[in-house]
């Protein structure tokens, strides 16, 4: 009986050693393979995609850092929601939004303008670069330039949070934020209070009106062409007097954000609408 028990224990030990050997080879390899995979979804099914080499892994890690940086500095409730949401425009925009595709095209247009360095994200540094373009024209006095700088800073902090190199605004976030701003009367009044300073910055002769040539300065600061400026000015100058007052300018700028009426001439205010 004792001999039988010793043989049984020996057999069991050999079995455990074989299993351990199998685990140490195939399972470890599978584990290594697992940490070098990522989930890909095509809208219907999800599957594991293997990284081809270290460069692919590094790219994905970089993407993970960028995705985190998009959320940095935003309210906790927004971060929780955005982590679970899809990054696609269609998924984000259709969740409770009653805004038209025309309005969303307009918001994408402005996001692209505010994204001065064209990396697909708006940061406070983009705001600074844009404001510097207008200030560099030299038509704002020192007091106006300081007020403009302060308002740009305040607008960012009130709408998108702290001034932080890792606080970015994606297209999806911009659409969502503008949707909420335009449904809040208090925020709506504050959202574009910097428009008068854009007018003053391009009012070269300080006449209180801007001509088509001065409007070209406006579009130049936005990164748009003289041709786009000429076409837009011809459309928005409804009375055909060849000039825009500050009131007309500001009202057109605001109307661009507020209306979903495609027949309104304000759709030309910020240049050609995005096709994306």
Helix (H) or strand (E) holding 258: helix 246-258
Contacts of residue 249, Cβ cutoff 8 Å, sequence gap at least 6 = 195, 198, 199, 210
With respect to residue 78, please indicate whether it lies within any of the assigned structural domains. Answer: no
Kindly indicate the confidence band of residue 27, based on its pLDDT and cuts at 50, 70 and 90.
Answer: very low
With respect to residue 194, please indicate whether it lies within any of the assigned structural domains. Answer: yes
CA neighbor of 173 nearest in space, from 276, 66, 259, 70: 70
The pLDDT value given to residue 180? 84
Residue of higher predicted confidence among 129 and 28:
129
With respect to residue 76, please indicate whether it lies within any of the assigned structural domains. Answer: no
pLDDT in tens, 186-240: 777 776 789 999 999 999 999 999 999 999 999 999 999 999 999 999 999 999 9
With respect to residue 1, please indicate whether it lies within any of the assigned structural domains. Answer: no
Q: Are 214 and 247 in contact (CB under 8 A)?
A: no
Least confident of 1-10, 124-133, 207-216: 1-10
Q: Is the pLDDT of residue 261 over 50?
A: yes
Mean pLDDT confidence for 246-275? 94
The pLDDT value given to residue 54? 42
With respect to residue 249, please indicate whether it lies within any of the assigned structural domains. Answer: yes
How far is residue 224's CA from residue 184's CA, in Å, rounded to a whole number? 31
The pLDDT value given to residue 192? 79
| Count: domains in the chain | 1
In terms of residue numbers, what domain contains 257? Answer: 101-268
Residue 247 sits in a domain whose CATH number is 1.10.238.10
pLDDT in tens, 117-126: 999 999 999 9
How far is residue 152's CA from residue 114's CA, in Å, rounded to a whole number? 12
Contacts of residue 188, Cβ cutoff 8 Å, sequence gap at least 6 = 181, 182, 258
Kindly indicate the confidence band of residue 63, based on its pLDDT and cuts at 50, 70 and 90.
Answer: very low
Q: Is the pLDDT of residue 5 over 90?
A: no
The pLDDT value given to residue 179? 87
Q: What is the pairing mode between strands 244-245 and 209-210? A: antiparallel
The pLDDT value given to residue 51? 38
Least confident of 88-92, 145-149, 164-168, 271-275: 88-92
The pLDDT value given to residue 97? 52
Kindly indicate the confidence band of residue 4, based on its pLDDT and cuts at 50, 70 and 90.
Answer: very low
pLDDT in tens, 155-183: 999 888 999 989 999 999 999 988 887 78
Kindly indicate the confidence band of residue 99, based on its pLDDT and cuts at 50, 70 and 90.
Answer: confident
pLDDT in tens, 64-76: 333 333 444 444 3
CA neighbor of 134 nearest in space, from 61, 200, 65, 228: 200
The pLDDT value given to residue 200? 97
With respect to residue 226, please indicate whether it lies within any of the assigned structural domains. Answer: yes
């Amino acid at each position: 009986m004792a001999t039988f028990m010793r043989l049984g224990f020996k057999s069991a030990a050999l079995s455990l050693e074989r299993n351990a050997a199998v685990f140490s080879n195939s399972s470890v390899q599978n584990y290594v393979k697992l940490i070098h995979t990522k989930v890909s979804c095509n809208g219907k099914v999800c599957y594991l995609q293997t990284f081809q080499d270290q460069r692919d892994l590094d790219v994905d890690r970089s993407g993970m850092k960028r995705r985190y940086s998009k959320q940095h500095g935003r309210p906790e409730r927004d971060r929780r929601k955005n982590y679970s949401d899809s990054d696609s425009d269609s998924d984000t925009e259709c969740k409770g939004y009653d805004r038209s595709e025309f309005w969303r095209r307009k918001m994408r247009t402005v996001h692209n303008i505010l994204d001065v360095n064209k990396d697909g994200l708006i940061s406070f540094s983009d705001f600074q670069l844009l404001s510097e373009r207008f200030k560099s024209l030299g038509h704002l006095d020192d007091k106006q330039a300081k007020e403009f700088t302060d308002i740009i800073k305040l607008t960012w902090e009130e709408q998108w949070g702290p001034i932080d190199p890792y606080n970015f605004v994606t297209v999806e976030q911009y659409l969502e934020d503008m949707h909420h701003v335009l449904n809040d009367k208090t925020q709506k009044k504050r959202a574009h209070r910097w428009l008068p300073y854009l007018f003053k910055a391009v009012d070269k002769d300080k006449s209180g009106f801007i001509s088509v040539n001065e409007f070209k300065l406006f579009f130049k600061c936005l990164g748009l062409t003289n041709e786009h400026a000429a076409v837009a000015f011809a459309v928005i100058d409804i009375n055909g007097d060849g000039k825009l007052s500050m009131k007309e300018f500001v009202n057109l700028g605001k109307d661009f954000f507020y209306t979903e009426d495609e027949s309104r001439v304000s759709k030309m205010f910020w240049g050609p609408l995005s096709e994306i």
